[in-house]
Amino acid sequence: MTSATETAAAVRPYQQYVYAYPHKTAYRPLPRARASLRELWADEPKGTLSLYFHIPFCEVRCGFCNLFTRIGAPDGLTGAYLDALERQASAVREALGEGARFANAAFGGGTPTFLEAAELARLCDLAERGLGADLAAIPLSVEASPATATADRLAVLAERGTTRLSLGVQSFVDAEARTAVRPQRRADVEAALARVREAGIPVLNIDLIYGIDGQTEESFTRSLDAALAWRPEELYLYPLYVRPRTGLGRQRERAMSADAERVVSADAEWDEQRLRLYRHGRDHLLAHGYEQVSMRMFRRADAPDTGAGDYACQTDGMVGLGCGARSYTSRLHHSFDYAVDMHRIRGIIDTYTARSADDFRHADFGWEMTGDEARRRHLLQSLLQAEGMPVAGYRDRFGSAPGDDFAAELDRFAGRGWLDDSAGPGLLRLSPEGLAHSDAVGPELFSAAVRARMAAYEVK
């Protein structure tokens, strides 16, 4: 019989980043007759909705990036995209009807700050006038890159109520940034951080990546300390992934063709490197006054409260606008077509900008939620948070206990030492080692149906 340590060691720690369930690769085309937005939202609770705008443009495409985004925009494309967002906002507001209230908002991408200052102001107008979101009264998070975090753009965001600005730095070591195919200089990153602080946005988040080729604990510490010098309210530590159809993914495909055995052996060493760097980064941040919120997220203990606690991702609905955004109701998760290949992405964006208002009155691609899938999503999204999941809340919602619904999965996690035995019977919580293996915990909670859909998806 193998020990728990041996069993856990046999599980690859970096399988998939689970930020939503199910993944969009499980979505499929929906019959238009069954996907009217008005009907989808008719009986939904709408008192605490989340609003998300997707901007699919970046000035460069990083080597590790598989986000739905394109490099640059021909003349007029950003304006045409905002026009389409306006048409979609009109259709969505009509579908929501009376009584819809947004509890938080986010602009993501891509890089929302790829838009010029006047275009960002128009985007805020779409949220406020188009959908009725009061950006001055709710948390608003915006993603940015150092090159696009210009003073005029930041001034617009600050004036319109942005409470959190997330800057994708990835590494303060220039050589590591080049290796990750993210061309930037530390001096430019530092200048961007200074502009963010000068803009007075309450919460600064800095994204860092670990697992870059050649990265060591010493070089990772240099990035961590450079970030800490700005006293960011939040820090995200992301493990590097190499995914199909990305720049680094194509490098891997060439290496596999030349010597697959060597690549597989290197993968095992890479897993060890990423786990070692993760633990080092986690401990470094904990020692500098940060609290762990999830495997990736760390918050400064004295960071201001931006009032984000009104929305619960497990239960409340989400309204996504833009060609890469998702929307969630209790019965259906939906979005538009999904791709990673640049040519396919450009085609999807062009199709989106050509849509009429009537085209936005129905969902195109999605996944119909069942009771079992809702249970899996609730457990997954709660368990991957450092605070864990109160069993009573799960039982109140579903009328059953997670230990009965997911006995096999939870037994496996316990056997590997991934559950916190000290949490007590009323709380399901991952141990520190369980949190370290979040990207293995999440995929093990996927249903067979979702796995089959994802496996059948043609990467494009």
CB atoms within 10 A of CB 426: 10
Structure confidence at residue 2 as a pLDDT band (50, 70, 90): very low
Q: Which residues contact 209 (CB under 8 A, 6 or more apart)?
A: 64, 170, 171, 180, 237, 238, 239, 240
Position 4 scores a pLDDT of: 46
**Contact predicate 413/434, CB 8 Å:** yes
- What sections of 160-216 are H helices per DSSP? 174-179, 186-199
Whole-angstrom Cα distance, residue 405 to residue 390? 15
Q: How far apart are CA 371 and CA 202, in angstroms?
A: 39
Number of Cβ within a 10 Å radius of residue 130: 20
Query: Hey, which of 11-20, 337-346, 386-395 has the most confident mean pLDDT?
Result: 386-395
pLDDT of the residue at 327: 96
Least confident of 23-27, 119-123, 439-443: 23-27
Q: How far is CA 201 from the centre of its chain?
A: 21
Who contacts 396 (Cβ-Cβ below 8 Å, separation ≥6)?
Answer: none
According to the model, what pLDDT value does residue 292 have?
Answer: 98
Residue type, 114: F
User: What's the Cα-to-Cα distance from 18 to each of 86, 163, 287, 385, rounded to whole Å?
Assistant: 30, 25, 27, 12
71: tokens are 């490099």
Instruction: State the average pLDDT for the chain.
Output: 91
Using one digit for the tens of pLDDT, what is the confidence trace for 79-136? 999 999 999 999 999 999 999 999 999 999 889 999 999 999 999 999 999 999 999 9
Tokens 């304006």 sit at which residue? Answer: 79
Please give the span between the terminal C-alpha atoms of the chain, in angstroms, as a whole number.
43
Question: 262 pLDDT band (50/70/90 cuts)?
Answer: low
DSSP string, 81-94: HHHHHHHHHHHHHH
**Cα–Cα dist 184/174, whole Å:** 7
Residues in the chain: 460
Hey, how many other C-beta atoms are within 10 angstroms of the C-beta on 197? 15
Residue 264 pLDDT grade (very low, low, confident, very high; cuts 50, 70, 90): low
DSSP 265-304: HHHHHHHHHHHHHHHHHHHHHHHTTEEE-BSSEEEETTPP
**Would you put residue 115 in left (φ > 0), alpha (ψ -120 to 50) or beta?**
beta
Other C-beta atoms lying within 10 Å of the C-beta of residue 331: 14
Contact 171, 208 (CB under 8 A): yes
